A and B are shown apart, each in its own frame.
Chain A
Amino acid sequence: DTGVSQDPRHKITKRGQNVTFRCDPISEHNRLYWYRQTLGQGPEFLTYFQNEAQLEKSRLLSDRFSAERPKGSFSTLEIQRTEQGDSAMYLCASSLDDRGREKLFFGSGTQLSVL
Chain B
Amino acid sequence: TQLLEQSPQFLSIQEGENLTVYCNSSSVFSSLQWYRQEPGEGPVLLVTVVTGGEVKKLKRLTFQFGDARKDSSLHITAAQPGDTGLYLCAGAGSGTYKYIFGTGTRLKVLA
Contact = CB atoms under 8 A, between A and B. Distances in A.
Contacts, number: 65
A49 to B, nearest CB: 10
Interface in B83-111: 86, 88, 90, 92, 96-104, 106
A40 to B, nearest CB: 7
Given A40-B106, A42-B103, A56-B98, A93 B31 contact: no
A108 B40 contact: yes
B70 to A, nearest CB: 16
Interface stretch (B11-19, B42-50, B57-65, B74-82): B42-50
Indicate the size class of the contact surface on chain B: 20 to 34
B100 A45 contact: yes
Contacts of A108: 40-42
B27 interface: no
A31 B97 CA distance: 9
Interface in A62-100: 91, 93, 95, 100
A104 interface: yes
Given A100-B30, A104-B33, A104-B99, A42 B104 contact: yes
Contacts of B50: 100-101
A43 B88 contact: yes
Contacts of B4: 42
Contacts of B101: 35, 42-45
Given A42-B104, A93-B42, A103 B97 contact: no
A43 B45 CA distance: 14
A86 B96 CA distance: 27
Interface of A: 4, 31, 33, 35, 40-45, 48, 50, 55-56, 91, 93, 95, 100-109, 111
16 contacts: A4-B42, A31-B97, A42-B101, A42-B102, A43-B101, A44-B101, A45-B98, A50-B97, A56-B96, A91-B42, A100-B92, A102-B48, A103-B45, A106-B42, A107-B42, A109-B40
